[in-house]
Amino acid sequence: MMNKKKIFVAVDTNKVSLAKKIIKDTQTNKIKVGYKFGLEFMNSKNGRRFISTLRNKIIFIDLKLKDTVNTMVSAVKALKDLKIDYLTVHISSGLAALKAVKKVSGRTKIIGVTTLTSLNDNDLKLIGYNKTVKSLVIHQAKLAKKASLDALVCSPYEVGSLRKIFKKEIITPGVQLGKKNYDQKRSMEAKKVQSDWIVIGRAITRGNVKKNIQNLAKELR
């Protein structure tokens, strides 16, 4: 069972009207709720403008930045007007980039992305890594700690190992409500996850959103 009962609802859409509905229908006092917006929403016609209007919400922008140091720093600075709470960067961007981004991040917490939950050991081999997922994620967590990042993203299966290395917030996607795991290869039922925050999208936002958030709250008790 998750100790603090905190979730980020993944608002995976390019439609502002649907985003508004998701936010409205997930209001609850049973669990702490924040909202994750990714590339699809941020690259939509009115997505950025909508985020700039949000008040009294915990906002997580999931851009997974990975580029040269100067480009990443410029990107973070360009987001400052949104006053977001969390922003993702790939740890594989390198130590210099991570430190530089952290230095200019201001109030925004920088989240280091380890290895995507859609990848397994075989996938890593195909893209040229000689490490297992677990060993690579541990290596990445050590780099995030060295860069003084504020949080980590990892799969539910790596949380236990990373707690020994990284003492700040751990956020886990690859979380399912019930048995369905969509396109995740390292997923786990929400009630079994031990991270500080879980990220859950389609299991909440498809179908009856109000009922789904109520079911999640019950599962996390």
Q: Which residues are catalytic?
A: 64
H-helix segments, the chain: 16-25, 39-42, 47-53, 69-78, 95-104, 121-126, 133-146, 159-163, 202-205, 209-219
Taking the CA atoms of residue 194, residue 168, residue 111 and residue 49 in that order, the dihedral angle to the nearest 10 degrees is: 90
- As a whole number of angstroms, the distance between CA 203 and CA 207 comes to 8
Question: What Å distances lie between residue 88 and 5, 44, 63, CA to CA?
Answer: 21, 19, 6
**Using an 8 Å Cβ cutoff, are 196 and 152 in contact?**
no
